[in-house]
């Protein structure tokens, strides 16, 4: 394998642990906190998790390690989408396991949760692990999106655990995977298997956070990577002065990624899905909002700009959601075949017009034709429209172009509107982790082992005080059930970790809202540049603006 100079240099980087974990595993003790309650639906969650509910929050501190010594055989999986730093979670876990006793074993189950079911694993060694230190990606063992949630699967996992003598399983994943970690922990406890389950909070989307978990790992690096690219595009736009760039950024439903990128780069426009929903904005209202900026700038001779569009935006537009559910109904069952058999788009259009309510068709007909067709081409395995595949960056630029045409005809708009489109998602998910993510992830993994050693199960590895230097970070654990509430999923009430959406009364959004009118009209771009891995701490160890604003 060819190794780049940066990769070689990153192998030698020593991730920073929280101060209380720095004296080695023999010098870490537990401070018990208060018993916990779930964020909502306490009685229901308690009944579903009789063995793991209500446990105490715990914090580690310097002091004699009082855990009961035993051989540890730990299994680890990476679950869901890649996020920078995943390798360091595994490295931190491995180093702590081996520091406790060189005879301890860490097994990595390949390809995500399915690796546990299929018993597809490797045993980590120094030689193997050293090739992945401080690198991006999940290729150390791979990841996958199989959900570990049925009793049948849990039985198989129990057998696999028995075969290897597993004492614990660490699940590195997002809200769904950690919800499943809690359910697996409860199953393992209820069946006296002796297998502990610990979760680690991962996702670039930033939507696994709450009063205990300040950030999911990967968000820092991914948003810095997108912000670098957006800043570069802003500078290109400001140099050439001829294009409006519509940039969609990943992040699933929540708009945390878009908001963070906006705070970093001060674009002319950034849509926030949660605000669109709260204000019940229509597609036309959103297009008008963007067109206002294009018009003002164009009339000032600035025929360029940057608009950030969050991946999940259309789901938040009430009329669009209504259209999607009517389309899902329209093509349910055999009707898909009938639709597909129609000879051309005109015939299909007529079918759609007849099948939708007047209100839904009113929304459908203002969409550009490529989006109309996308709605009927791309379906998920259940036959539903795949909203995430809609090219919303193109959708909004087309709707804005229509608005501008009308405004030009009315004589109010005198500018030119040339567009470019981009989608940033995969570019950021496997970047070399920033120092923040390298340190945070290593600490999460190291800390996960401390939770295992002290016998905890159903806990999320928790490292907080993250806006301060790593020395001051606080390591501990939080019962996953504390983050849960009941939600309706696929027609059933299920206990799940509550997803964090952008809070419209939170400081990051407020700051953005205070400045966006100026950004919309003037050119206030900021250029964050590439992530710096070596150099002064004020350049290399920066946290996200979101975290800095949230923590004051």
Residues near ligand FBP, by CB under 6 A: 80-81, 83, 174, 203-205, 250-252, 311, 388, 425, 429
Assigned token pair, 312: 């999940």
Contact 268, 291 (CB under 8 A): no
State in angstroms the smallest separation of the CB of 541 from ligand FBP: 24
Three-state SS at 484:
strand
Measured from the CB of residue 249, what is the shortest distance to ligand FBP in angstroms?
9
Distance CA 419, CA 439 (A): 40
Give the nearer residue to ligand FBP in terms of CB position, either 81 or 137: 81
Q: Report angle CA 459, 461, 463 to the nearest 5 degrees.
A: 140
Give the HSE-up count for residue 251: Cα atoms under 13 Å, Cβ half-sphere.
36
- Sequence-ordered list of residues with C-beta below 8 angstroms from that of 169, at least 6 positions apart, any chain: 74, 75, 76, 77, 116, 157, 161, 184, 195, 196, 197, 198
Minimum CB distance to ligand FBP smaller for 255 or for 481: 255
Q: How far is the CB of 326 from ligand FBP (least distance, A)?
A: 24
Q: How many CB atoms are located within 10 Å of the residue 484 CB?
A: 27
Q: Which runs of consecutive H residues, i.e. helices, occur in 29-150? A: 42-48, 86-100, 113-118, 126-130
Catalytic residue among 205, 207, 220, 437, which? 205
What are 497's strand-pairing partners? Answer: 484
Considering only CA atoms, which of 225, 230, 259, 263 is closest in space to residue 245? 230
Q: In the bound complex, what is the minimum distance in angstroms from residue 414's beta carbon to ligand FBP?
A: 39
CB of residue 221 to ligand FBP, shortest distance in Å? 13
- Nearest to ligand FBP of 58, 83 (CB atom): 83
Q: Which residues sit opposite 474 in a β-bridge?
A: 464
Of residues 251 and 273, the one with the C-beta less far from ligand FBP: 251
Nearer to ligand FBP, 52 or 227 (CB): 227
Are 87 and 59 in contact by the 8 Å Cβ rule? The answer is no
Residue 251 or 445: the one with the smaller Cβ distance to ligand FBP is: 251
59 touches 31 (CB < 8 A): yes
Shortest distance in whole angstroms from residue 6 CB to ligand FBP? 24
* 101 catalytically annotated: no
Alpha-carbon gap, residue 399 to 419, rounded angstroms: 12
CB atoms within 10 A of CB 467: 17
**Helix/strand/coil for 143:** strand
Q: For tokens 């193997």, name the residue.
A: 128
The Cα 149–Cα 163 span in angstroms is 21
Nearer to ligand FBP, 204 or 484 (CB): 204
DSSP 8-state class, residue 202: B
Give the phi and the psi of residue 119 in degrees, each rounded to 5.
Answer: 55, 45
Smallest separation, CB 542 to ligand FBP (Å): 22
3-state secondary structure 198-240: EEEEECCCCCCCCCCCCCCECHHHHHHHHHHHHHHHHHHHHHH
Beta bridge partners of 305: 244
Rounding to the nearest 10 degrees, give the CA dihedral for residues 326, 331, 332, 335: 140
Q: How far is the CB of 429 from ligand FBP (least distance, A)?
A: 6
Q: What is the DSSP string of 385-400?
A: B-GGGS-HHHHHHHHH
Coil, strand or helix at 302: coil
- Residue closer to ligand FBP by CB (options 28, 258) is 258
Nearer to ligand FBP, 112 or 298 (CB): 112
Q: Mapping DSSP to helix (H, G, I), strand (E, B) and coil, where does residue 415 land?
A: coil
Location of structure tokens 């309510």: 357
Q: Measure the CA–CA gap between 465 and 141, rounded to whole angstroms.
A: 30
**Minimum distance from residue 121 beta carbon to ligand FBP (Å):** 21
Q: How far is the CB of 117 from ligand FBP (least distance, A)?
A: 18
Q: Where are the beta strands (DSSP E) in 178-238?
A: 196-201
Q: Which residues are catalytic?
A: 205
């Amino acid at each position: 394998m060819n190794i780049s100079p940066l990769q070689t240099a990153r192998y030698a980087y020593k991730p920073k642990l929280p101060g209380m974990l720095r004296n080695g595993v023999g010098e870490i003790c537990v401070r018990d906190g208060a018993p916990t309650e779930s964020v909502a639906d306490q009685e229901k969650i308690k009944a579903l998790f009789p063995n793991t509910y209500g446990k105490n929050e715990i914090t580690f501190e310097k002091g004699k390690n009082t855990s009961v010594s035993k051989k540890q055989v730990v299994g680890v999986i990476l679950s869901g989408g890649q996020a920078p730093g995943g390798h360091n979670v595994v490295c931190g876990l491995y180093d702590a396991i081996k520091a406790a006793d060189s005879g301890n074993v860490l097994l990595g189950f390949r390809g995500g949760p399915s690796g546990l079911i299929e018993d597809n694993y490797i045993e980590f060694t120094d030689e193997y692990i050293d090739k992945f230190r401080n690198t991006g990606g999940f290729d150390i063992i791979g990841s996958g999106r199989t959900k570990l949630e049925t009793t049948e699967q849990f039985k198989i996992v129990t057998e696999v655990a028995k075969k290897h003598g597993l004492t614990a399983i660490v699940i590195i994943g997002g809200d769904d995977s950690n919800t499943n970690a809690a359910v697996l922990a409860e199953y393992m406890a209820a069946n006296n298997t002796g297998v502990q389950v610990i979760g680690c909070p991962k996702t670039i989307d930033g939507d696994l956070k709450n009063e205990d978990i300040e950030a999911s790992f990967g968000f820092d690096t991914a948003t810095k990577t997108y912000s670098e690219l957006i800043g570069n595009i802003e500078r290109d736009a400001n140099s050439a002065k001829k294009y409006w760039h519509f940039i969609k950024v990943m992040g699933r439903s929540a708009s945390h990624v878009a908001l963070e990128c906006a705070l970093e780069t001060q674009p002319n426009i950034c849509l926030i899905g949660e605000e669109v929903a709260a204000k019940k904005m229509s597609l036309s209202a959103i297009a008008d909002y963007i067109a206002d900026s294009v018009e003002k700038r164009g009339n000032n001779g600035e025929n360029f700009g940057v608009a950030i569009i969050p991946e999940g935006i259309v789901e938040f537009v009430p009329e669009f959601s209504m259209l999607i559910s009517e389309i899902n109904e329209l093509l349910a069952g055999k009707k898909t075949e009938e639709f597909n058999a129609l000879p051309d788009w005109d015939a299909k259009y007529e079918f759609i017009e007849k099948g939708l309510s007047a209100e839904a068709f009113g929304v459908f007909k203002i969409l550009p034709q490529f989006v109309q067709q996308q709605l009927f081409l791309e379906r998920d395995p259940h036959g539903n429209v795949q909203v995430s595949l809609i090219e919303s960056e193109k959708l909004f630029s087309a709707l804005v172009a229509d608005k501008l045409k009308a405004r030009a005809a009315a004589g109010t708009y005198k500018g030119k509107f040339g567009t470019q489109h981009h989608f940033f998602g995969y570019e950021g998910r496997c970047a070399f982790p920033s120092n923040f993510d390298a340190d945070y992830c290593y600490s999460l993994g190291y800390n996960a082992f401390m939770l295992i050693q002290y016998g905890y199960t159903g806990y999320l590895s928790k490292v907080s005080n993250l806006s301060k230097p790593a020395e001051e970070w606080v390591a501990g654990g939080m019962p996953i059930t504390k983050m849960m509430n009941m939600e309706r999923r696929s027609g059933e009430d299920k206990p799940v970790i509550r997803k964090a959406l952008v809070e419209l009364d939170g400081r990051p959004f407020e700051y953005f809202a205070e400045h966006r009118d100026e950004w919309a009209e003037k050119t206030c771009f900021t250029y964050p540049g590439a992530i710096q891995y070596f150099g002064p701490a004020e350049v290399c160890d920066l946290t996200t603006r979101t975290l800095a604003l949230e923590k004051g």
